[in-house]
């Protein structure tokens, strides 16, 4: 069974792995593939910039 992780914002393929099939994989998979969502590095940076997140990353003053 193949598991794909796709960016929830832009649709870019983040990763693709093969995993052992479980007894319930057919319920969760479509055409033998399962899809999960995350954020690609470019969208993560864009979201951080847009909403002002992680401005103090690495700072001990936080």
**According to DSSP H, which parts of 1-53 are helical?**
25-28, 41-51
- Give the pLDDT score at 9: 94
pLDDT band at 28 (very low <50, low <70, confident <90, very high): low
> Domain map of the chain by residue range?
2-51
Give per-residue pLDDT as tens, 41-50: 999 999 999 9
Q: Indicate if the alpha-carbon torsion angle 20, 24, 26, 30 is positive or negative.
A: negative
**Least-confidence region, from 6-10, 20-24, 42-46, 57-61:** 57-61
pLDDT score of 10 more than 90: yes
């Amino acid at each position: 069974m193949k598991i794909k992780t796709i960016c929830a914002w832009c649709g870019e393929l983040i990763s693709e792995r093969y995993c052992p099939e479980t007894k319930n994989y057919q319920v969760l998979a479509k055409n033998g593939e399962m899809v999960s969502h995350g954020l690609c590095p470019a969208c993560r940076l864009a979201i951080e910039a847009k909403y002002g997140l992680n401005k103090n990353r690495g700072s001990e003053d936080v």
